[in-house]
Amino acid sequence: MTTDPKLEKLKQILNEIADLDNAMSLLHWDMQCYMPQEGAEARGNQIATIGRLAHENRTSEVLGKLLDDLAPFAAQGDPDSDDVRLIQVTKRQYDKATKVPIDLVVEFSQVTSSAHQVWEQARANNDFESFRPSLEKIFELRRRFADCFAPYDHVYDPLLDEFEPGLKTADVKAIFEALRPRQVELLQAIKARPQVEDAFLHQQYEDAKQWDFGVQVLNQIGYDWKRSRQDRAAHPFTTNFSINDVRITTRIIPDNLGSALFSTLHEGGHAMYELGVNQHYERTPLAGGTSLAIHESQSRMWENLVGRSLPFWQHFYPRLQQTFPAQLGNVSLEAFYKGVNKVEPSLIRVEADEATYNMHVMLRLELEIAVLEGKLAVKDLPEAWNARMQEYLGLTPPNDSKGVLQDVHWSGGMIGYFSTYALGNLVSGQLWECINTDIPDLPDQIRRGEFAALRGWLTEKVHQYGSKYEPQELVKRITGTKIDPAPYLRYLTEKYRSIYGF
């Protein structure tokens, strides 16, 4: 137990900052789940006030002085100790926060709070023009944020760093350039084969039964309801206000059985990451996942590598058939397994199959970069979106609600976020190979509905460390290499070769 008074003072300040951040997260969660429409303006002011207070504390001279005083301690201490890592992570965050003026922080909070409600209405009404002014303002604010960190290698770098610390735009482009041709090759091989049937997934499925089945699956995989809950939202998400208070949401579509179940598994994967963080990190910058790519590696693993696997459905499918006998009673396990893994270009990213998903992400990354570089105007985003959808997936959205307006991220100012989805896929493949080496009978365990060994491995290797290690460092510690597309491509090829027979 540490006795250094300056380190104790640092932790006290960090605890208070964490409390403010968590209170703001609670307001955001309520805004997306329960807040009445007319509450948007007041909520924006509340979030802006808390954001200002948190930023003032995060950039205070007292905190800066403590970090300077503790620099010798950090330099001489065990570089892998929690205290040294805490100081390093805090110093990194402090150096970033002190470059951003308080008025920009407040304005960004206000604009994005009101923009969320505008986006919801715009998407419901298929009306991009009503959202365009908000989006133009958000991109302007993100450019101003990026300029706080000039000189940079690329204007997108400071935004990417918000979600993926240490990664550069050039790194992501290089990874995607290596990934894209292999994904296209895989899609062409699948396209040459007879298509699998999935019409049975698009019958009418009762809302309450979909919800209850998702809860049963969460129970089976070991979701901790004493420290978490599930609600509904227009766009599924996970948030947390503590290691012991994590919230997930899902979205039920009556004629799409997979939507709610796989979003529940996806968000459950995010939640179990947060719930698995070392309790000693509570109310400090070490709490929470180290990056969005690592977070997505957990959610995409549970959604796809586990949730769309044959062993998973060998266990759960009889129960699902009993839940929906009229729709699935005559559908074989093999047909169902192939159906939930059908590869077909689609309009909506969150409903996309594993083989096409990364193409959706690349599209969004390219558009964000083009707008920030000044090569694409916000008013031209719908046209550019549709053109790339046609180029990458051979589809043109029939309206903006199923095109440029489908994602919640831009309304929240989360520009720089999208690439982490694809990066998370790649990390999930790397981890999966290691997991199956360490737990060679994992498929049999899943087939029996046993998930304790898998949860234990993830907690030991990934979750417990929270933000102690930067993402690339964590991946290398576990797998021996930094983020690498090869394992994920091996996984996809093996899986779809079996399903499509090429």
Clarify whether 473 is annotated catalytic: no
Q: Is 126 left (phi over 0), alpha (psi -120 to 50) or beta?
A: left
- Report the DSSP beta bridge partners of residue 247: 229, 239
Tokens of 109: 């909070």
CA distance 159 to 145: 8
Residue tagged 């965050």 (tokens)? 93
Q: Are 368 and 156 in contact (CB under 8 A)?
A: yes
List phi, psi (to 5°) of 24: -65, -40
Q: Supply the DSSP symbol for 98.
A: T
Q: Are 475 and 481 in contact (CB under 8 A)?
A: yes
Amino acid residing at 180:
R
Q: Are 10 and 70 in contact (CB under 8 A)?
A: yes
Name the active-site residue from 267, 303, 354, 470: 267
CA distance 481 to 465: 18
Q: Are 350 and 364 in contact (CB under 8 A)?
A: no
Q: Are 487 and 434 in contact (CB under 8 A)?
A: no
CA distance 497 to 501: 5
CA distance 404 to 407: 7
- Report the DSSP beta bridge partners of residue 337: none
CA distance 142 to 11: 30
Q: What three-state secondary structure class fits 223?
A: coil
Residues recognised as catalytic: 267
